[in-house]
Structure 1
Amino acid sequence: MPSDDPRPRRGWWSVTLSDVGDALLGLVTTAVGLGVAIAVVDGVRATNPGAVVLAALLVGAGDLVLRPPLRVLARVGGAMGALVAGLGAQVAVVWLALSLGPGLEVRSAWAVVQVLVITACVMAVGRWVWGASDSDYVVGDVLRRARARARRAGEGGGAVPDHRPPGLLVVQLDGVGTAVLEQALDAGLAPTMARWLESGSHRLTSWWAQAPSTTPASQAGLLHGAADAIPSFRWWDREAGRLVVTNHPDDAAMVERRLSDGRGLLADGGAAVSTMFSGDAARQLLVMSQARRGIGPGTSYLRFFASPFVLARAVTLTVGEMVKELYQGRRQRVRDVRPRVPRRGWYVVLRGVTNVLLRDLATSLVAEQLVRGAPVVFVDLVDYDEIAHHAGPTRPESLRALDGLDGVLDTLQRVAAAAPRDYRVVVLSDHGQALGPTFAQVAGEPLVEAVRRLVSAGREEPSWGGTPGAAGGAGGGRAGARHGGPGGAPEVDAVQAASDEEWGPLNAFLSSAASRHGEDRAVVLGPPGKDRRDGERTAAGDGAPPPEVAVTGSGNLGMVWFPREPRRLVLEEIETRWPGLVRGLASTPGIGLVLVDTAARGLAAVGTGGIAWLEPDGADGLPAVDGTDPVARYGPRATADLRRLGRLGHVGDLVVLSDVTPGGRVHAFEGQVGSHGGLGGPQNRAVLLHPAELPVDDDLLEDVDGERIAVGADRVHHQLLRWATALGLRRDATPPAAAGEEGAAPAAGPAGRLRPGDGS
């Protein structure tokens, strides 16, 4: 792969200018940081500048001396052992340096901690002023070791240490749409990727993220070729008898058990870092679905936790990120930027932790896997997606997040240049995002309240449309209802999944860190905690009936289930039990269409001015559209995507898409001003930036708006498998279906049309 750091051409004793520069920069920034810290911290004193320089040298020497015993502790104690030992080692190294160095005096451990934090801040500022990559500092030790190993193995020729085939590094930039990346390239916010494109080493194209255009569905497709296993970000699972939320560690594990065949993208020795599913990787680090197995080998985390000032710097910059979020959120309010959503509370903390601490940790882990020579490495970086949800996809702070992500790519490129394999880098995203006010801002109430109101009111209204009768047991929908609804009608017992996507990375880290030897210690903080506990009580069979209605929102894709029914209901049954519900939803401001199955003609998209039949027989002579086509506004792929979505397992009895404006704005059923999950706007155009020497195969492409691109994450998975096979990294590869064929059958749930009275 292209690199600005060519491999050295001399033996193991050679020292490059880059090595000397790194060493001097590290010494200078450490000495300056210590000097500033000693000057401002009460309890630490230095008699002369030379003492500070000596302390900086002692810190580096102490770090080298303590590494071997720390590795032993990390192997025994796992990742938490590495964290505890690393923190202790950082304090001990600085304390000893300040205590043993002539001309230095330290009075307390608290003073040492203050010195650590202040020094880390000064070093970060110093590297920024110098123009050095901030991410390079995170992986500096790994980078130096890799370069030294390459020199020793080069025997004067700079060859890689072995003859293994080139590796594949796949970097997912979560939520980055093609148009946004192109805008960032033009604005100079992605110089690394711009250099690749200008040099001709890489090519930029798109792929179509089918509905549900969410991270779980896309990663299930990218890593396992099984996007059809997931109908939404969160759903009511009739088999499990509860809400399933894919960024809960236990739920992610259950979903992966259903979709994995053991031959995912990362089989045969690959590594997964900070992903939702494992891809059947041999090395799984910060993987949501594998939290019970622990956070991963403790030695992989040691350098991040134990390197002097690295963790302290990350924690300090995390706080800085929180302050930046408070400022940016206030600026939106003061300037009355619209549309906007509140940017306060726990989101401020989560942005800091996710976009600094966990990103730095993930960068360190990927670097470690590259120097280990893992054949395929896949990492998900969520910085942009987290900010864009709350600020907007093209707002300044969102685009600036791409600058940081591009810096990570530059760092990983430098690490790969010194790795034992000659890595090829693929950059892709899982979906894009679309701007727009929330559904609650447009309609004046959240989706769950709209459904509750219409279900309650519908009990007193006659059925519309004259469709055939309903299944037996129609009174079941009233069980457990409470009084007090509109007009004296019973209030509906309804449950809605919380908006909790931003808690996923932190919960994965905490759950993994808390798990040892297969024990169930899954940690779920924030709004998802209540959903998980309620779901566990329901599944445990404590005698409480399931709710009458369950409602979820995944961006501008909403779903409604009737959990007391053993199977998905069709329109005829719904209209008999809750007259006016479908019509009322379709005419609600902010809603574009309602997708529902029918006994008479299959899937139908119901809009305020007409119905589109998505599975027309043709032989019956009936029109495919009655009235105004509600699907047309969503683009040329909409009919095929809705047809596929409507037949996925566990899909809602009703599927709701928000309206979309001619300018591509949608309305999230969550508190998000930038959203994805359904159709409309730029959310379905995902990024695929690939090496020019690894072309995209034409048989995996389809025509979308005059451009031939891959449609669906499963197709991208097959392309990645083909590239890995061409590089000699896979022992076998499963051939995909030809372009234009129907996708795989749904992983669970009914595949065919339901009729009133059918069994489950």
Structure 2
Amino acid sequence: MPGDGPARRPRGPRRPLLTARDAHDALLSVVPTALALWISGQVVAGVEYASPAWLLAASALLLLGDVLVRPVLGPLVQVAGPAATVALGVAVQLLVLHTALTALPGLELRSLGALGQVYLVTGLVAVVARWLVGVNDSSWVVRDLLRRRPRAAAGAAPGLLVVQVDGLSLPLLRFGVHAGTLPTIARWLRTGSHRATGWRAPLPSTTPASQAGLLHGTTGDVPAFRWWDPELQRVLVANRPADAAVIEERLVRAARAAGREGLLAHDGASIGNVFSGEAAHAHLVVSTSRGGGSGRPYLRYVLRPFGLARSLVLTAGEVVKELYQGWQQRVRRVEPRIRRRGWYVLLRALTNALLRDLNVALVAEQLAAGRPVVFVDFLDYDEVAHHAGAARAESLDALAGVDRVLGTLAAVAASSPRDYRVVVVSDHGQAQGPTFAQVAGRTVQDLVADLVQREHPGVPSRVASARGEEGRGRVDVLVRDLAPAGHAPRASRRSEPRVDEAAGPDAVVVVTAGCTALLSVPDAPGGRLELGELAGRWPALVPGLLAAPGVGFVAGHGRAGPVVLGPAGEHDLLTGRVRGGDPLAPFGPRAAGEVLRVMRMSTAPALLVHSAVDERTGEVHAFEEQVAHHGGLGGEQNEAVLVHPADWVVDEDLLDTSVPGERLLVGADTVHRQLVRWMRAEGVLPAAEPPAPSRREGRAEGPGIDRAGAERAGAEGAGR
């Protein structure tokens, strides 16, 4: 059944052209469409029918037309761009609808204006009707997509589907299993087909760093979501297509130097990610977006009957839901909260409806084509959680939507030409708390500007605002792909406030990423000054930052190496010597090593400012306008999750045991190595070298959440 844990199953002969289940689903599709046509006939002037039976016939004709036109349009859209494909798809839907309303003797259509009204009304009503009768539109698309394809013979090469649930932590996964928010994952764990293992997303716990590790096997010199780049002398932002391309080029070079290759390098597919993983088939990927290209991947999405209308209705519904839920938070005085207005309202609607549906269609295409590895990122939950809160009702609703998608994709994988195994991974978790501006009364950019100008009044500091949305990059890519080839649409040319121009002497660049703020000095070598030199230029800067409410520590460069300063002490990262109170104590035993790693990067800032952890509530403060956030240390942002087949066991030599009582995967690059080992052992990837030993065992008994990981998560949470 859809949603059951995808396990190994015997392969049979070619699937029949039409199964009983297909006929059942087709009937359930025809009846709601006929109902929608009947309602259209009541509200749209210019449409008449002799009897309801003709509406059923028209619905069947619509279904038949959808099946017949796809083979004809396939070769055409291969050379047409995505924009032309979308336009052509809508035109064909209107043509088929016009034929259905004029070719049958019992129906009459009096004008083209009435045709457009019928299309919109029928699409709206069909969506509601299908929801009421329980038809999963995505599942019907899946069966229609795979019905004509032969099932693989026994011994066919296996495949792997990796679904990234952006922002999902291990504690929240456990809660979702118990609360019924994640029924698909819960079923996999309870039946023993899968096991959930926690892994640590170290500083910086952000999507670009984690996807760099997962897809390319190295996190490189990625210190945050955005940073001042000393080589390019400008700010790099990971969700800007041009910047993501620069970052990926560096990642590929670093991986090659380490003897690694992208996770998807062998004819894999990358869908909706920041980076490509060297995939030959990349769609809605930020780093490879060039505009134009083939429209074939979009064909099935735009041609399914009223599919685009469904997505648009759901998108509009998300706008209404967001406005209502934001109002509810204000009325109920939920704290912490932020203003949920402006661009975010549309962004949430697009990521939770249109982009989600498009991702499902694109993944289905790639699985049906038999790609060895498919990696897709769903950022629905992460985007909503930033503005609503990590475990608020609307965030859990978005998470439940992703779980439903998992059920659909499991059905695709079970019916595809390969024997696909399914892995679910997150890139980080989420911390939560009032923002720094709510605690300190002003933004960190304003604070830094004030501290700098105390010594140099009248000299403006270059401050780069960092309030852009993580999901906005995916929307920009969609807009860019739908534009004519060679044309850069205005949306994709947008940028956050830039500091690319010469900043001038005694200037400071401040960029924020979750609960971290990175301060660089453009006129200094590498953008960095030692703490003593900083004190000489701006004596009030570091003391003023440490005295601000909501600041936990400031990491800088001493003469002998990186040092962490706190309000009541300091921690030498090279020697481990602590004077006074240890500023890293609230952040756990791994914090020192992770801060040291970031401060040794070639892209490291002059100062790394990290917000505080509230000892009373465990809350962490974001330097951005986000209720739930990530990018640093503290809370649950470092507790990522890996849901994998239960007979795939994590290799002992990859487990980090440097902290007493802990044995876990640390870093996305380590998860990459484990995935590669599993794929080589399964035959998904060629064994270019003898694969590392990977123990195998039978399926686990009972719920598959890793008990050691769960106990660790509980112990760490209690200690915060």
User: Where in structure 2 are the equivalents of 1:96-175 lying within 5 Å?
Assistant: 96-137=99-140, 140=141, 142-150=142-150, 160-161=152-153, 163-175=155-167
1:529 to 495, 503, 524: 495
1:278 to 255, 276, 287: 276
Query: Is the contact between residue 215 and residue 276 of structure 2 (CA under 8 Å) also seen in structure 1?
Result: yes
2:366 to 364, 369, 374: 369
Q: Residue in 2 aligned with 1:352? A: 349
Q: Residue in 1 aligned with 2:553? A: 593
Residues 1:556 and 2:529 aligned together: no
Task: For 2:622, give the aligned amino acid.
Answer: A
User: Where in structure 2 are the equivalents of 1:21-36 lying within 5 Å?
Assistant: 21-36=24-39
Task: For 1:76, give the aligned amino acid.
Answer: V
Looking at structure 2, the residues matched to 264 and 11 of structure 1 have their Cα atoms a distance apart, in angstroms, of 34
Looking at structure 2, the residues matched to 240 and 111 of structure 1 have their Cα atoms a distance apart, in angstroms, of 56
Residues 1:337 and 2:290 aligned together: no
Q: Residue in 1 aligned with 2:88? A: 85
Map Cα deviations across residues 585-630 of structure 1 (whole Å, 9 max, x no partner).
112100000000101x31111111111111118xxxxxx1111111
Looking at structure 2, the residues matched to 12 and 383 of structure 1 have their Cα atoms a distance apart, in angstroms, of 34
Structure 1 residues 604, 33: CA separation in 2 closer, same or farther (over 3 Å shift)? Answer: same
Query: Is the contact between residue 40 and residue 122 of structure 2 (CA under 8 Å) also seen in structure 1?
Result: yes
Q: Residue in 2 aligned with 1:717? A: 672
User: Where in structure 2 are the equivalents of 1:499-538 lying within 5 Å?
Assistant: 499-514=468-483, 516=485, 519=486, 521=488, 524=491, 529-531=495-497, 535=500, 538=501
Query: Is the contact between residue 6 and residue 422 of structure 2 (CA under 8 Å) also seen in structure 1?
Result: no
Greater shift, 35-44 or 46-55, is seen at 35-44
Looking at structure 1, the residues matched to 581 and 484 of structure 2 have their Cα atoms a distance apart, in angstroms, of 55
Give 1:271 deviation, angstroms: 0.3
Q: Residue in 1 aligned with 2:405? A: 408
Query: Is the contact between residue 220 and residue 250 of structure 2 (CA under 8 Å) also seen in structure 1?
Result: no
Q: Residue in 1 aligned with 2:189? A: 197
Query: Is the contact between residue 467 and residue 625 of structure 2 (CA under 8 Å) also seen in structure 1?
Result: no
**For 1:657, what is the secondary structure of its paired residue?**
strand
Give 1:677 deviation, angstroms: 0.4
Looking at structure 1, the residues matched to 429 and 360 of structure 2 have their Cα atoms a distance apart, in angstroms, of 23
Q: Residue in 2 aligned with 1:303? A: 300
Give 1:500 deviation, angstroms: 3.1
Give 1:520 deviation, angstroms: 7.1
Query: Is the contact between residue 664 and residue 682 of structure 1 (CA under 8 Å) also seen in structure 2?
Result: no
Task: For 1:614, give the aligned amino acid.
Answer: L
Looking at structure 2, the residues matched to 224 and 515 of structure 1 have their Cα atoms a distance apart, in angstroms, of 30
Task: For 1:288, give the aligned amino acid.
Answer: V
Greater shift, 436-445 or 638-647, is seen at 638-647
Residues 1:577 and 2:544 aligned together: no
Q: Residue in 1 aligned with 2:697? A: none
Structure 1 residues 652, 372: CA separation in 2 closer, same or farther (over 3 Å shift)? Answer: same
Query: Is the contact between residue 586 and residue 613 of structure 2 (CA under 8 Å) also seen in structure 1?
Result: yes
Map Cα deviations across residues 308-328 of structure 1 (whole Å, 9 max, x no partner).
200111011100111011110
Query: Is the contact between residue 253 and residue 290 of structure 1 (CA under 8 Å) also seen in structure 2?
Result: yes
Query: Is the contact between residue 507 and residue 523 of structure 1 (CA under 8 Å) also seen in structure 2?
Result: no
Give 1:226 deviation, angstroms: 1.7
Looking at structure 1, the residues matched to 580 and 275 of structure 2 have their Cα atoms a distance apart, in angstroms, of 43
Structure 1 residues 21, 169: CA separation in 2 closer, same or farther (over 3 Å shift)? Answer: same
Give 1:522 deviation, angstroms: 6.7
Residues 1:637 and 2:590 aligned together: yes
Map Cα deviations across residues 620-654 of structure 1 (whole Å, 9 max, x no partner).
xxxx1111111000112111111111112212110
**For 1:326, what is the secondary structure of its paired residue?**
helix
Structure 1 residues 136, 6: CA separation in 2 closer, same or farther (over 3 Å shift)? Answer: farther
**For 1:341, what is the secondary structure of its paired residue?**
coil
Task: For 1:112, give the aligned amino acid.
Answer: L
1:228 to 215, 220, 234: 220
Looking at structure 2, the residues matched to 734 and 286 of structure 1 have their Cα atoms a distance apart, in angstroms, of 32
**For 2:213, what is the secondary structure of its paired residue?**
helix
Greater shift, 712-721 or 43-52, is seen at 43-52
Residues 1:217 and 2:214 aligned together: no
Give 1:524 deviation, angstroms: 4.2
Greater shift, 330-339 or 114-123, is seen at 114-123
1:41 to 33, 41, 44: 44
**For 1:611, what is the secondary structure of its paired residue?**
strand
Structure 1 residues 515, 231: CA separation in 2 closer, same or farther (over 3 Å shift)? Answer: farther
Q: Residue in 1 aligned with 2:614? A: 661
Structure 1 residues 28, 381: CA separation in 2 closer, same or farther (over 3 Å shift)? Answer: same
**For 1:531, what is the secondary structure of its paired residue?**
coil
Looking at structure 1, the residues matched to 664 and 487 of structure 2 have their Cα atoms a distance apart, in angstroms, of 42
Query: Is the contact between residue 434 and residue 666 of structure 1 (CA under 8 Å) also seen in structure 2?
Result: yes
Structure 1 residues 343, 165: CA separation in 2 closer, same or farther (over 3 Å shift)? Answer: same
Looking at structure 1, the residues matched to 392 and 153 of structure 2 have their Cα atoms a distance apart, in angstroms, of 45
**For 1:529, what is the secondary structure of its paired residue?**
coil
TM-score by length of 2: 0.90
Query: Is the contact between residue 85 and residue 306 of structure 1 (CA under 8 Å) also seen in structure 2?
Result: no
Map Cα deviations across residues 666-687 of structure 1 (whole Å, 9 max, x no partner).
1111110000000010010001
Looking at structure 2, the residues matched to 439 and 256 of structure 1 have their Cα atoms a distance apart, in angstroms, of 31
Structure 1 runs not aligned, ≥5 long: 154-159, 460-477, 484-489, 618-623, 739-760
Greater shift, 340-349 or 490-499, is seen at 490-499
Alignment coverage as a number of residue pairs: 681
Sequence identity of aligned pairs in percent?
47
Task: For 2:422, give the aligned amino acid.
Answer: V
Give 1:499 deviation, angstroms: 2.8
Give 1:125 deviation, angstroms: 2.4
Residues 1:451 and 2:410 aligned together: no
Residues 1:269 and 2:267 aligned together: yes
Map Cα deviations across residues 286-332 of structure 1 (whole Å, 9 max, x no partner).
1100001x465321110101222001110111001110111100000
Give 1:86 deviation, angstroms: 0.6
**For 1:318, what is the secondary structure of its paired residue?**
helix
**For 1:496, what is the secondary structure of its paired residue?**
coil
Task: For 1:192, give the aligned amino acid.
Answer: T
Q: Residue in 2 aligned with 1:59? A: 62
**For 2:326, what is the secondary structure of its paired residue?**
helix
2:168 to 171, 176, 196: 176
Structure 1 residues 248, 5: CA separation in 2 closer, same or farther (over 3 Å shift)? Answer: same
Task: For 1:121, give the aligned amino acid.
Answer: L
2:603 to 650, 671, 678: 650
Greater shift, 574-583 or 127-136, is seen at 127-136
Map Cα deviations across residues 382-440 of structure 1 (whole Å, 9 max, x no partner).
11001000000010110111111111010011111110101000001000111101000
Structure 1 residues 134, 332: CA separation in 2 closer, same or farther (over 3 Å shift)? Answer: farther
Looking at structure 1, the residues matched to 421 and 646 of structure 2 have their Cα atoms a distance apart, in angstroms, of 10
Query: Is the contact between residue 428 and residue 689 of structure 1 (CA under 8 Å) also seen in structure 2?
Result: yes
User: Where in structure 2 are the equivalents of 1:279-294 lying within 5 Å?
Assistant: 279-292=277-290, 294=291
Looking at structure 1, the residues matched to 63 and 99 of structure 2 have their Cα atoms a distance apart, in angstroms, of 12
Q: Residue in 1 aligned with 2:684? A: 729
Q: Residue in 2 aligned with 1:676? A: 630
Task: For 2:269, give the aligned amino acid.
Answer: A
Structure 1 residues 736, 215: CA separation in 2 closer, same or farther (over 3 Å shift)? Answer: farther
Looking at structure 2, the residues matched to 510 and 709 of structure 1 have their Cα atoms a distance apart, in angstroms, of 40
Task: For 1:561, give the aligned amino acid.
Answer: S
Give 1:731 deviation, angstroms: 2.7
Looking at structure 2, the residues matched to 349 and 43 of structure 1 have their Cα atoms a distance apart, in angstroms, of 34
Looking at structure 1, the residues matched to 242 and 487 of structure 2 have their Cα atoms a distance apart, in angstroms, of 9
Query: Is the contact between residue 347 and residue 472 of structure 2 (CA under 8 Å) also seen in structure 1?
Result: yes
Task: For 2:545, give the aligned amino acid.
Answer: L
Greater shift, 563-572 or 121-130, is seen at 121-130
Structure 2 runs not aligned, ≥5 long: 694-720
**For 1:275, what is the secondary structure of its paired residue?**
coil
Looking at structure 1, the residues matched to 451 and 357 of structure 2 have their Cα atoms a distance apart, in angstroms, of 48
Give 1:214 deviation, angstroms: 0.6
Looking at structure 2, the residues matched to 734 and 589 of structure 1 have their Cα atoms a distance apart, in angstroms, of 53
Give 1:344 deviation, angstroms: 1.1
Give 1:547 deviation, angstroms: 8.2
Query: Is the contact between residue 10 and residue 154 of structure 2 (CA under 8 Å) also seen in structure 1?
Result: no
Task: For 2:633, give the aligned amino acid.
Answer: L
Greater shift, 166-175 or 3-12, is seen at 3-12
